[in-house]
Structure 1
Amino acid sequence: MSLSETKQKKCICAGLLAHVDAGKTTLSEAMLYVSGNLKKLGRVDHQDAFLDTYHLERERGITIFSKQAILEREHMRLMLLDTPGHVDFSTEMERTLQVLDYAILVISGSAGVQGHTETLWKLLEQYRIPTFVFINKMDLDTADYDTVLAQLKSRLSDSCVDFSFDRDAAQRDEEAAMCDESLMEAFLEEGVLTQEQLRHAVVHRQIFPCFFGSALKLEGVEEFLDGIQAYTVDPVYPKEFGAKVYKISRDPQGNRLTWMKITGGGLKVKTVLTNAGLSVQEEDVWEDKVDQIRLYSGEKYQMTDSVPAGSVCAVTGLKRTQPGDALGLEPVSIEPILSPVLTYQLILPEGTDVPSTLRSIKQLEEEDPQLHIIWNERLQEIHIQLMGEIQLEILKSMIAERFGLDVSFGEGHVVYKETITAPVEGVGHFEPLRHYAEVHLLLEPLERGAGLEFDTVCSEDKLDRNWQRLILTHLAEREHLGVLTGSPITDMRITLLSGKAHAKHTEGGDFRQATYRAIRQGLMKAQSMLLEPWYAFRLEVPQEFIGRAMTDIPARGGTFDPPETDGTYSVLTGTAPVSSMRD
């Protein structure tokens, strides 16, 4: 399809999200099939689903990597991004959120709103993504319309409104009007709501249209696509180039693919892209030429010379891009909210060349930055941070396939972090023969979850601007370890107060040593605190087991709110340390 043809259609990028086993991949299959984009309907349980392209996805029946499919209708081009539903792969899902125009949240009609569904809802709220809800598996005897709709309103939002096409339009408009004052005013004046008013309310997250059906039996899927077409707004993009990188992968030939959403202008083959102009240090600036632009649908792709704004594509030729990179006019991405809480030692086969293996498997960290592949100098071990056991199994398989190594993992440990409780100044000197550098840093505690911030208030009369920028680079370039348990530091602001250089003897590497020493000296003087990760949990158990659960949770150091009843189940919500709740 040519550039001009694409522009005549509404072009929407929508992501499918769900708790595992809600039928998300089955819905994407059904949407592609009923719109004529798939000739044969695959099934997850038959291991032939169009978007489950990796063999472990087919064997396990779960989505591990986000995938793209292009769905063409007469007046709409829908770029579907199928994301992982299992909590172990939620960081892959979260990176995809940053490029979505709309989200499609899939909920099982028989299971209702589940624990991970609420996590997804909070993320969609955080990223301000307009959301359509498809309640799947309504053909099952255990699925009850009234129960599910009540759960949507009580546990997600009062603004979830049934938009099914067989509903009375006046009743739908009345419910929608209750969600927003301006809608209520319009409804009281006219007695109806226009499609334009409803579209506006959807895109501003004032209402969340809900549709009911069965993806497996193709019930309600056509109506759902009609609903997306009717109640979405074609995004308007600036004329200047912008792009957001959300994923790095490699094709079967080993070519590095940078997946991006074009958020302004357009992109042509042979364009030189750079991250210059953003808040990066000079030595981190790169320039690379776009060799190919690929539009993927499942495993297959077509190459194109150019793509307009709004497109999601994979690009070859870029060597230093990372998930979260913002190019051109695009603002810098926010840091992911979800992060791993477990770390495992990677045990290599005897006789393996450790340095070259470490370099190779760092490729996997490029593809999933949340893995945090770390060389522990003190223990002389490779450590990897993960979300859970299933991710561990997938990683073992990927290392065997990609690098021919049969690795194993040590016992998992909880990822602790360290911070400080009061401001402290650290000073670092580096002064061997013919070298000199001095750095003064202020370390201040921040609120929980703030991460690390770096700043400078140093006068350029005291220290040249280039040296200051170099010190800030050294602060950000590595994980600095605390002094209590050697865990990474977090939740503090580190500010450069002052520094000294020698006109003749100072080199760049001198400031690296002085910076590291200033942090260490400050931490040695500070009152440090160990931070332990906790889970927020929702536990659903049959009512006869609620007493046992209420005994077990305090025994594991957890707390919970008074139990609630949800049908035949009792529900406990609370918090508990990861260390005692892991299994």
Structure 2
Amino acid sequence: MKHIVTGIVAHVDAGKTTLSEALLYQAGTIRTWGRVDKGEAFLDTDAMEKKRGITIFSHQAELQYQDLALTLLDTPGHVDFAAQTEEVLPVLDYAILVVSATDGIPGYTRTLWHLLARYQVPVFLFVNKMDTRGADAAAVLQSLQTALSPGCTDFTPDAAGRLSEAALENAATQDDAVLADYLDTDALPDAALQQLIQRRQVFPVYFGAALKQTGVTELLAGLAHWTVPAPAAAQFGARVFKITHDDKGERLTWVRVTGGTLAARAVLVNDEKANQLRIYNGEKFTIAQTVPAGAVCAITGFTATYPGQGLGAEKDAPHPTLQPVLTYAVDPQGNDIPTCLQAMQELADEDPQLHVTWSEPLQEIRVQIMGVIQLEVLRQMMADRFHLTVDFVQGHILYKETIKAAMEGAGHFEPLRHYAEVHLLLQPGAPGSGLVYDSTTSPETLPQNWQHQVLTSLAAKEQLGVLIGAPLTDMHVTLVTGRGSIVHTVGGDFREASWRALRQGLMMLRAQDQCVILEPWYDFRLEIGRDQVGRAMNDIQRMSGTIADTEDADGATMTVLTGTAPVSEMQSYTQEVNTYTHGQGQLETVVAGYRPCHNADAVITAANYSPTGDLANPPGSVFVAKGAAYTVNWDKVPETMHLPYVYSAAQLAALGHDRA
């Protein structure tokens, strides 16, 4: 029996959890049909999920159908909890993307599609709510092929269980070699189709209504027939995708075993043992002594694991692309601050994207979030789990900084009996690339262990920009030369020189007006009455937004505007829409990433940040003369460095490029 791990992903209200319930019911895992709207769903086990009727946390279920053993991971559908959905994707063999037959292709569905592509997850699509008036399978399929991929193919079988000629032809056209064979033989073997699906060239589409159990059996049969198990490595490996605490406070590390066998009591992390191996099915679990490759389990006994972590031979997952865009301070409402901080840190242990920090100068706890629904859930979690009533105040946008030209930055650290000099090439990176560190320095110029110290030091802390002190992103930093002393260089010297080199290069770029503030932007979809379009267009223009498209909807009585706008301007627009449309309008927003700030001058003025006054991030260098150390300001550094600069101004100009 083959074993597949599948995740169900969807835009909120597409029917994702209802489909999960239907799959479990059809497979015989559950005997009673539970409804989401009545808080009875097998996989919505948390009290908040039952109350709200939405999935907030990812959950696991096990089912068997024909020769398929399926581990099903149900994920949150609301965009505010998208980070938890992204954590699950790297451990999936396949995903089921649920789309509503009558809601078009929402922005968040497109976001999920891009995430699935990033993690190279093959996808089956289930078009739900086909029982709704106006649902048109052909029109939906055309929309999927246009918005997502031409490889979206109707896999609805005929009475004999065969695919239509149109489906085979569409699938074959997604690969030149397969198409040539298809034209020669007029046949498309199942094995070839399985490979096309696994390579993300073909995406099977099924149609149905999960609430009425239609199309569900066909989807199950398709998963059983068209999926191929991932090959398992011989050496033990596993990937962490979730951290939770059970109702007794036991910390659980959820993993997908990718190779070898996981055994109870195995020592895997920091000399800590895997005490229990739990196989969950909804709320209940069984304890296993071993877990084979391909399976999912929750482990007790670990205290410092984190989502995305690789265990054994498995490497860490890529850094998640979905990042919080808002920061709030925690109002303890009279509760003990250390107690509140400890509780928030436990929540951040489960969701590292919360980035819970303590600000000593302001004496406040800070947390980063995706949206206001997440705030409501955090309030409820603090009350239910820790019996703490808190609120969240002083919300701010999370800005970032980057550069738009190349620069060589230099840092020197030479107080008495210390010595290190570092030269870094700073270059703009692609949007969304984050910070990338590498080296082109030969070991003859700078020994490998010292190069390692430089690169490790750069990644050891959050590097800040010099405009408002926001985190740096989208920048490629290369170690191009450096020098140490066999006699005087000690631990920490290259750390100081590296950090100063980065800051000095940034200050040089700041003087040339080549530093950029970035802010988060929304992709929005605004549905309003036709007589309200003028008002909406004026609002979007006022918010520095852009309208990309306008189309009629709902029998031409409503109009849909799509486009982009800064989060800072649009984050509170929902209430305004509800007011002027008398509750008939609907605004949907999805974070589309970071782009240049629309009001950078105002943000810089408000921040009043002094990069030379930031004592934790100095841009100057330290030299020694006549037995005494002295500081050289950043602008005088080029003329005092011991090593010659690697790049001329002309070479830097050729290397630099504006941010796309």
**Same-fold call, TM cutoff 0.5:** yes
Read off the aligned partner of 2:277 and give its amino acid letter: I
Change (3 A) 1:575 1:65: same
Instruction: Report the equivalent of 2:207.
Output: 212
Change (3 A) 1:169 1:463: closer
Note the C-alpha offset of 1:402: 3.4
Instruction: Indicate which of 340, 356, 359 corresponds to 2:324.
Output: 340
Stretch of structure 1 that moved more, 41-50 or 552-561: 552-561
Q: Retained in 2: the 8 A contact 1:324–1:333?
A: yes
SS at match of 1:472: helix
SS at match of 1:184: helix
Stretch of structure 1 that moved more, 124-133 or 568-577: 568-577
Aligned equivalents of 2:518 and 2:401: distance in 1? 6
Note the C-alpha offset of 1:458: 6.2
Instruction: Indicate which of 564, 576, 583 corresponds to 1:575.
Output: 564
Instruction: Indicate which of 416, 426, 431 corresponds to 1:444.
Output: 426
Aligned equivalents of 1:176 and 1:460: distance in 2? 51
Aligned equivalents of 2:179 and 2:438: distance in 1? 48
Q: Retained in 2: the 8 A contact 1:428–1:516?
A: no
Stretch of structure 1 that moved more, 415-424 or 46-55: 415-424
Change (3 A) 1:100 1:345: same
1:203 counterpart = 2:203: no
Instruction: Report the equivalent of 2:626.
Output: none
Note the C-alpha offset of 1:444: 0.6
Q: Retained in 2: the 8 A contact 1:132–1:209?
A: yes
Change (3 A) 1:366 1:458: farther
SS at match of 1:411: strand
1:352 counterpart = 2:343: no
Cα-to-partner distance string for 1:304-327 (whole Å, 9 max, x where unaligned)? 011111111111222222111122
Change (3 A) 1:461 1:129: closer
SS at match of 1:12: strand
Q: Retained in 1: the 8 A contact 2:340–2:388?
A: no
Note the C-alpha offset of 1:556: 1.0
Instruction: Report the equivalent of 2:396.
Output: 413
Aligned equivalents of 1:207 and 1:580: distance in 2? 39
Instruction: Indicate which of 156, 159, 169 corresponds to 2:163.
Output: 169
Read off the aligned partner of 1:425 and give its amino acid letter: G
Read off the aligned partner of 1:238 and give its amino acid letter: A
Q: How does 1:408-557 map to 2 (within 5 A)?
A: 408-421=391-404, 422-427=406-411, 429=413, 431=415, 436=418, 438=420, 440-442=422-424, 444-447=426-429, 448-456=431-439, 468-496=451-479, 497-498=481-482, 500=484, 506=490, 508=492, 516-527=499-510, 528-557=515-544
Change (3 A) 1:159 1:518: closer
Note the C-alpha offset of 1:461: 7.4
Q: How does 1:383-422 map to 2 (within 5 A)?
A: 383-421=366-404, 422=406
Cα-to-partner distance string for 1:152-186 (whole Å, 9 max, x where unaligned)? 22222222222123477343323433443344334
Cα-to-partner distance string for 1:504-531 (whole Å, 9 max, x where unaligned)? 89455x6656655554454444413222
Cα-to-partner distance string for 1:65-92 (whole Å, 9 max, x where unaligned)? 1111111224110010101111001111
Change (3 A) 1:503 1:21: same
Q: Retained in 2: the 8 A contact 1:343–1:413?
A: yes
Instruction: Report the equivalent of 1:277.
Output: none
Aligned equivalents of 2:164 and 2:380: distance in 1? 54
Q: How does 1:374-385 map to 2 (within 5 A)?
A: 374-385=357-368
Aligned equivalents of 1:342 and 1:198: distance in 2? 44
SS at match of 1:410: strand
Instruction: Indicate which of 119, 135, 143 corresponds to 1:151.
Output: 143
Q: Retained in 2: the 8 A contact 1:437–1:502?
A: no
Instruction: Report the equivalent of 1:18.
Output: 10
Instruction: Report the equivalent of 1:280.
Output: none
Aligned equivalents of 2:196 and 2:553: distance in 1? 31
1:255 counterpart = 2:250: yes
Aligned equivalents of 1:308 and 1:556: distance in 2? 54
Instruction: Indicate which of 204, 227, 240 corresponds to 1:232.
Output: 227
Change (3 A) 1:102 1:184: same
SS at match of 2:210: coil
Instruction: Report the equivalent of 1:281.
Output: none
Aligned equivalents of 1:269 and 1:410: distance in 2? 45
Q: Retained in 2: the 8 A contact 1:424–1:526?
A: no
Read off the aligned partner of 2:146 and give its amino acid letter: S
Instruction: Report the equivalent of 1:48.
Output: 40
Which one has the largest radius of gyration?
2
Q: Retained in 2: the 8 A contact 1:443–1:492?
A: no
Aligned equivalents of 2:245 and 2:423: distance in 1? 41
Note the C-alpha offset of 1:292: 1.4
Instruction: Report the equivalent of 1:292.
Output: 276
Q: Retained in 2: the 8 A contact 1:430–1:513?
A: no
1:309 counterpart = 2:304: no
Aligned equivalents of 2:306 and 2:29: distance in 1? 32
Aligned equivalents of 2:303 and 2:170: distance in 1? 51
Note the C-alpha offset of 1:443: 5.3
Aligned equivalents of 2:434 and 2:118: distance in 1? 17
Q: Retained in 2: the 8 A contact 1:170–1:192?
A: no
Note the C-alpha offset of 1:189: 3.3
Instruction: Report the equivalent of 2:237.
Output: 242
Q: Which runs of 5+ in 2 are unaligned?
A: 573-660
Instruction: Report the equivalent of 1:85.
Output: 77
Q: Retained in 2: the 8 A contact 1:435–1:507?
A: no
Instruction: Report the equivalent of 1:366.
Output: 349
Change (3 A) 1:51 1:428: farther
Note the C-alpha offset of 1:328: 2.8
Note the C-alpha offset of 1:463: 7.0
Aligned equivalents of 1:379 and 1:548: distance in 2? 41
Aligned equivalents of 1:259 and 1:302: distance in 2? 14
Q: Retained in 1: the 8 A contact 2:197–2:204?
A: yes
